[in-house]
A = this chain, B = another copy of it.
Amino acid sequence: MKEGPDIAQIGALIGDPARANMLTALMGGKALTATELAAAGGITVQTASTHLARLEAGQLLSQRKQGRHRYFTLADDAVGKLLENIMGFAAGRGHLRHQPGPKEPALRKARICYDHLAGDFGVRMLDSLVAKGAIDAVGEGLALTGKGESALQCIGIDVGDLKSSRRPLCRSCLDWSERRAHLAGSLGKALLSNFFDKGWARRTAGSRSVIFSPEGERQFLALFPVDAN
């Protein structure tokens, strides 16, 4: 029997609650230390250490030693994509964790998906870009138009720079809370950092959620209108 690649191995890696929580925490895009990840997983540092070693051996994580800290990140964006995929699937099945905590709404509104914007705001942004004709949506795929390129130039994003990278410019990424696509790829990343740079929004300490300032939110909503229909 035994056909094809070994999905059990990575399934098992993701299948432990502590590890899953640590991976989820790393979806925030920031590099985290072993101690921070231990807190995220709800376990002691010793236990976290062995988990992290396993995850690194399985090539889901990579670590960078810096002074007496060890910073862990997801190995690459393929890992991030895989995790968001699984999250989308899990959310679709109603496999949510029952924790109606106060953070949940903020998370649904705007959060980081590895390195780009997700949640209600992420979906709205993509919708608006498509409606404006800045991005062509064909089937599941996305492509930046000439019109879109110049529009982005005005916001302060040089698409030429992004094009030179090996990473695809536009990707669609399934949003687990909205169950619709939002914008990933190097352009998605550039847009999010643009918002940070402008002071429209900021990351939160221990969470994936993104907080918009009142003024930032106003600007964002104006820039990405959604046509009432």
Q: What 1/0 mask marks residues of chain A from 135 to 159 whose CB sits below 8 Å from any chain B CB?
A: 0111111110000000000000000
Interface residues of A (CB under 8 A from B): 1-17, 19-21, 23-25, 39-42, 58-59, 78-79, 82-83, 85-93, 95-97, 99, 103, 107, 136-143, 168, 170-172, 176-177, 206-208
Q: How many copies does the complex hold?
A: 2
Q: Give the residues in chain B near A142, CB-CB below 8 Å.
A: 138-141
Distance of A25 Cα from B16 Cα, bound (Å): 24
Q: Give the residues in chain B near A143, CB-CB below 8 Å.
A: 138-139
Nearest CB of B to A98, in Å: 9
Nearest CB of B to A141, in Å: 2
Q: Give the residues in chain B near A95, CB-CB below 8 Å.
A: 5-6, 9-10, 58-59
Contacting A7 at CB < 8 Å: which of B20, B25, B107? B20
Query: Are A139's CB and B171's CB within 8 A?
Result: yes
Query: Are A78's CB and B87's CB within 8 A?
Result: no
Distance of A12 Cα from B228 Cα, bound (Å): 43
A85 with B87, Cβ < 8 A, contacts A92-B78, A139-B142 known: no
Q: Give the residues in chain B near A107, CB-CB below 8 Å.
A: 3-4
Q: Give the residues in chain B near A92, CB-CB below 8 Å.
A: 78
Query: Are A24's CB and B7's CB within 8 A?
Result: yes
Q: Give the residues in chain B near A10, CB-CB below 8 Å.
A: 15, 86, 89-90, 93, 95
Q: Give the residues in chain B near A138, CB-CB below 8 Å.
A: 136, 138-139, 141-143
Nearest CB of B to A80, in Å: 11
